[in-house]
Amino acid sequence: MSQQEKIKKLIELREQAKLGGGKKRIEAQHAKGKMTARERLEILLDEGSFEEYDMFVTHRCNDFGLADKKFPGDGVITGHGTIDGRVVYVYSQDFTVLGGSLSETFARKICKIMDQAMKVGAPVIGINDSGGARIQEGVLSLAGYADIFQRNILASGVIPQISAIFGPCAGGAVYSPALTDIIIMSEKTSYMFVTGPKVTKAVTGETISTESLGGAEVHTSRSGVAHFRAEDEEEGLLIIRKLLEYLPQNNLEDPPVTECSDPSERVDDILNEIIPDESNQAYDVKDIIYTVVDNKEFLEMHRHYARNIVVGFAKFNGMPAGIVANQPNYLAGVLDIDASRKAARFVRFCDAFNVPIVTFVDVPGFLPGSAQEYGGIIIQGAKLLFAYGEATVPKVTVTLRKSYGGAHDVMGCKQLRGDINYAWPTAEIAVMGAQGAIEILEGKNIGSITDDEEKAKYIAEKEKEYIEKFANPYEAARHGYIDDIIEPRNTRFRIIRALQTLVTKKDINPPRKHSNIPL
Ligand code: HXC
């Protein structure tokens, strides 16, 4: 064979590999409203940046008729490319090849790029669309999953790991995405569950559809397993690109600072009027977030889950930061099990990747009741407390209004190594609200008043006294627990200056194998 013929053969083999399971299956994939594994990579990566590995790998199984079913690449496309010029490693499961099922060689391909990503110090993005373990390969496939899990675990907190779910992801296969930092699901075409509807029916008798058991809606609003619900795959892929704007390549680097067109000294008069006069009236904390961040850009995570707390990424004068904010618009911003878990995971994610944390506090306390206690709010709330206390990144806290009880301590207070703690003049920092406090402190006196009118007057007087003494930021400021009380309209500028000041902040935790966060 001449050199020219050899080159021609290579080109042909490449073209064949690019067809995955063949034209018919590609059509079937499109008919389901799904892109192919390659089309997804084209949107995810910078144009022309993809370098593929292991295109010629095939499986080694000859059982159950698989000897005649060999496809170059074996159902997963792996390699590296760039996003906004920064290197990322990727794998994209190809459903057109044996349902994207995972074989021994398929797993090896993924492990290869994960190992290299760890050496290079670059993120790994996995696009999942698979029928799970390749049944014909039995235990070899299970071992392949375990090889990937082990790498997910060792890479955790070292390089960002992001998972997109654009098709089936069932059985033990769900645990690789679950071990990564972020999960994005596409609406209607993706699902995740440990056991599917058929097994569920057989074991528990429950009849349930695939969508209701593990669709994008379920996992982004009920279980909290997934962080983003994308209308379609393209939106999901663009979310990944956006997300990386806020993250460093690895835990030894800082997140990328960019040019900012939004003036850092911008004063927002609207903030001086945003807090309602009535303390129990709601407002949308996102209005405050959008006002103070660069160019009103806020990438909210877990938008549909535990809406009483808001988390996500934004920039301040080009500096990426993670934002945690109680949401008075939903359940009065109370801290409950779901909100505590959501925020704790986010705080730890930021801390692992050197992203400063900006916290906006307006929290009436922890949600009372047997459902919360039986669900372990003690342990769940402790997660958030632990996450804040353990975090060594710069931490800036702004108390907007309520900061009551244990929730005050949890939400980035000074004693949990809050670096710069501001309060608005509308802040109320106390052990509990006036009504509860007076019921406890004055219970006996109130009980001894028989006339209703007199009783109400007495309660009102005592509550007023309490509010004047405690429902303000000055008591906390007198003790130095608040560094400064700021005019709301200056918030953007004050946060930016705080973050600039803290750029060189160093803090360490004592040496240990690892902490024992209450799981
Ligand atoms: C081998 C598989 C496969 C698998 C699908 N295929 N899943 N081959 N192993 N796990 C093949 C099919 O035989 C078919 O091949 C082709 O892929 C397309 O599949 P269809 O069933 O025609 O597609 P669709 O109707 O869209 O259904 C998709 C599906 C279904 C819902 C994913 O294929 C399915 O239920 N698959 C099995 C899922 C499963 O139980 N996996 C094991 C989970 S346990 P042909 O050639 O006929 O077109 C697991 C353990 C992991 O993964 C443990 C880790 C610790």
SS (H, E, C) 61-85: CCHHHHHHCCCCCCCEEEEEEEECC
Residue 65: which pLDDT band, with cuts at 50, 70 and 90?
confident
Please tell me what DSSP assigns to residue 204: H
Q: Is the CB of 142 under 6 A from ligand 1?
A: yes
How far is the centre of ligand 1, averaged over its atoms, from the C-alpha of 199 (Å)? 15
133-162 per-position pLDDT tens digit: 999 999 999 999 999 999 999 999 999 999
Looking at 121, 172, 224, 436, which residue is catalytic? 172
Tell the burial category of 6 from Cβ atoms under 10 Å away from its Cβ (0-12, 13-18, 19+): exposed
* Proportion of the chain above pLDDT 90, given as a percent: 91
Q: Is the pLDDT of residue 380 over 90?
A: yes
Q: Which of 290, 180, 306 is nearest to 243 (CA)?
A: 180
Q: Is the CB of 75 under 6 A from ligand 1?
A: no
Range 89-110 average pLDDT:
97
Q: Is the pLDDT of residue 172 over 90?
A: no
How far is the centre of ligand 1, averaged over its atoms, from the C-alpha of 188 (Å)? 18
Range 70-79 average pLDDT:
95
Q: Is the pLDDT of residue 496 over 90?
A: yes
Q: Which of 74-78, 326-330, 384-388, 405-409 has the lowest mean pLDDT?
A: 405-409
What is the third-level CATH fold of 3-246? 2-enoyl-CoA Hydratase; Chain A, domain 1 (3.90.226)
Range 188-210 average pLDDT:
93
Q: Look at ligand 1, atom 18, and give the residue with the nearest C-alpha.
A: 99
* Token digits of residue 389: 């206390």
Predicted pLDDT at 433: 83
Going from the C-alpha of 144 to that of each of 62, 89, 97, 141, 151, the distances in angstroms are: 18, 19, 17, 5, 11
Q: Is the pLDDT of residue 30 over 90?
A: yes
Q: Which of 13-17, 358-362, 439-443 has the lowest mean pLDDT?
A: 439-443
Judge whether 375 counts as a catalytic residue: no
- Identity of residue 516: N
- Pocket probe mutation, ligand 1, options 98, 152, 195, 199, max atoms within 8 Å of Cβ: 98
Q: Is the CB of 177 under 6 A from ligand 1?
A: no
275-334 per-position pLDDT tens digit: 999 888 999 999 999 999 999 999 999 999 999 999 999 999 999 999 999 999 999 999
CATH of domain 269-427+472-504: 3.90.226.10
391-428 per-position pLDDT tens digit: 999 999 999 999 999 999 999 999 999 999 999 999 99
Predicted pLDDT at 63: 87
**Helix ranges (DSSP H) in 167-313:** 175-179, 197-204, 210-214, 216-221, 233-244, 285-292
Range 65-78 average pLDDT:
93
Cα(276)–Cα(27) distance, rounded to whole angstroms? 56
Range 239-267 average pLDDT:
98
To the nearest whole number, what is the mean pLDDT of the chain? 96
> Do 88 and 82 meet the contact criterion of CB atoms below 8 Å apart?
yes
Predicted pLDDT at 434: 85
Q: Is the pLDDT of residue 171 over 90?
A: no
**Which atom of ligand 1 is least distant from the CA of 149?**
55
* Token digits of residue 38: 């390659």
Cα(402)–Cα(276) distance, rounded to whole angstroms? 12
Tell the burial category of 47 from Cβ atoms under 10 Å away from its Cβ (0-12, 13-18, 19+): exposed
Beta bridge partners of 168: 191
Phi, psi of 505, rounded to the nearest 5 degrees:
-60, 135
Domain boundaries, the chain: 3-246, 269-427+472-504, 433-470
Predicted pLDDT at 435: 85
> Do 42 and 74 meet the contact criterion of CB atoms below 8 Å apart?
no
Sign of the torsion formed by the C-alpha atoms of 325, 329, 334 and 336: negative
Please tell me what DSSP assigns to residue 257: P
Predicted pLDDT at 78: 98
Range 473-490 average pLDDT:
96
Range 240-252 average pLDDT:
98
Q: Is the pLDDT of residue 113 over 90?
A: yes
Q: Which of 121-125, 157-161, 162-166, 434-438 has the lowest mean pLDDT?
A: 434-438
Q: Do domains 3-246 and 269-427+472-504 have the same CATH topology?
A: yes
Q: Is the pLDDT of residue 58 over 90?
A: yes
Looking at 171, 333, 381, 389, which residue is catalytic? 171
Q: Using DSSP, state whether 398 is helix, strand or coil.
A: strand
**Which atom of ligand 1 is least distant from the CA of 135?**
9
